[in-house]
Structure 1
Amino acid sequence: MFQLGKSIVSEEIIENDFVCNLNACKGACCIDGDAGAPLEEEETEIMVDIYSKVKPYLRPEGVAVIEDQGAFVKGEDGEWETPLIEGSECAYVIFDEKNIAKCGIEEAYNNGDIDWKKPVSCHLYPIRIREYTELTAVNYHKWHICDPACALGEELKLPIYKFVKEALIRKFGESWYKELEEVAEEHLKS
């Protein structure tokens, strides 16, 4: 671990390679698991504000869950998250013609209907953020369903921190990311 400003960053995001391989995993991270996508406090209001524009992209079962439970819910850990359909897939999941899970929020963004891409936790994946009183932990979340992404990342020689560059800048800013690049360069030399 190393410290960047008020964050503690795992070396794993520098040392491990990763590139999502949706053709292999079919977007399993959005449909497997026992909790919704983590949401930051300020994102909860955004979820409510964009819902009417995102709703036309969603599947009926997703709309039903959101209209029953709300645009976001409090998870078992006490944190905000997206609601789930039958305790499994994210209520905002849609499927393309190849049956690959995609994000209805991101589809609305890609089509220019909203100006917010998706929750930052989704954008950052496989990096997970944990907020503590004084520091923010930046860690690599290893999950077997992402083995194809690790293999593709290794083949393309793309470290995690470069794969999620846009999301890291979105979360921490340009100067933080530049500092991360410098640390990564030094770390890989040693």
Structure 2
Amino acid sequence: MNLYEGILFNRKDMLSPFKCDVSRCRGACCFIEGELGAPLKAKELEIIDNVLPEVWDLIPDKSKEIVKTSGWYIKTDGKYYTNVVNRKECVFAFFENGIARCSFERRYFEGKIKFRKPISCHLFPLREYSFFFTELVYVKIPECETARETGFAEDIPLVLSLKEALIRRFGERWFSNLLEKELGITNIGVDKTGGAK
């Protein structure tokens, strides 16, 4: 593991090929089987409560029933997660042409809300854990095999694929220094469009 400004990460993982292609994976990270949905930060609870009316019409009826009867989040062991439908899709996911989409992200890009999505979703397949340090762990799931294939074909490493998310979470200076000082990636301009300059 490598440590940079209090953040633990694996250099090899950050440089491994990865680029999401939802046309191939069908948005699989939004409907991974399990009892819990996406991890949430406590401060995101109020934000989501406030924007819920803006995304409500995008949410499928079965998800609305879950939200009405048991709420949109689950608390367990002092941690928060989005609720899920039938131990699978996130209650905030909706399907469009067979692809799972995020209701928050849709409204964000429409300019209707300022909250893009939970930061854990934005950072995926990295998961953030906090112990003595903040640790970024690469979660390798079969559903993301197409992203690894696309990243390899297009020569895009995980760290650049997650550029927007990492900047959102840790800031532009941290990201720029991580690339140059820790990963040896140069001639990459930091911007907020998600692409390398």
Q: Give the structure-2-normalised TM-score.
A: 0.88
Q: For 2:24, give the aligned amino acid.
A: A
Q: Residue 52 of structure 2 aligns with which residue?
A: 51
Q: For 1:22, give the aligned amino acid.
A: V
Q: Residue 62 of structure 2 aligns with which residue?
A: 61
**1:24 CA drift (Å):** 1.4
Contact 2:15 2:159 in 1 (8 A): no
Q: Residue 29 of structure 1 aligns with which residue?
A: 29
Name the stretch that deviates more: 103-112 or 146-155: 103-112
Q: Residue 72 of structure 2 aligns with which residue?
A: 71
**1:99 CA drift (Å):** 0.6
> Which structure has more helix as a fraction of its residues?
1
Q: Residue 81 of structure 2 aligns with which residue?
A: 81
| CA–CA distance in structure 2, aligned partners of residues 48 and 71 of structure 1 | 9
| CA–CA distance in structure 2, aligned partners of residues 175 and 13 of structure 1 | 21
Q: Does residue 41 of structure 2 align to residue 40 of structure 1? A: yes
| CA–CA distance in structure 1, aligned partners of residues 13 and 65 of structure 2 | 37
Q: Residues 40-87 of structure 1: CA distance to partner in whole angstroms, max 9, x if unpaired?
A: 111111111111111011111111111222232114x54211000111
Q: Residue 140 of structure 1 aligns with which residue?
A: 138
Runs of 5+ in structure 2 lacking a partner?
A: 186-197
| CA–CA distance in structure 2, aligned partners of residues 69 and 177 of structure 1 | 39
Q: Give the structure-1-normalised TM-score.
A: 0.91
Q: Secondary structure at the match of 2:105?
A: helix
Residues paired across the two proteins, number: 183
Q: Residue 13 of structure 1 aligns with which residue?
A: 13
Q: Secondary structure at the match of 2:47?
A: helix
| CA–CA distance in structure 2, aligned partners of residues 21 and 70 of structure 1 | 31
Structure 1 outlier segments of 4+, above 6 Å: none
Q: Secondary structure at the match of 1:51?
A: helix
Q: Matched residues, percent identical? A: 32
Runs of 5+ in structure 1 lacking a partner?
A: none
Contact 1:12 1:139 in 2 (8 A): no
Q: Secondary structure at the match of 1:117?
A: coil
Q: Residue 111 of structure 1 aligns with which residue?
A: 110
**Superposition RMSD in Å:** 1.3
Q: Does residue 172 of structure 2 align to residue 185 of structure 1? A: no
| CA–CA distance in structure 1, aligned partners of residues 140 and 55 of structure 2 | 30
| CA–CA distance in structure 1, aligned partners of residues 64 and 160 of structure 2 | 34
Contact 1:18 1:163 in 2 (8 A): yes
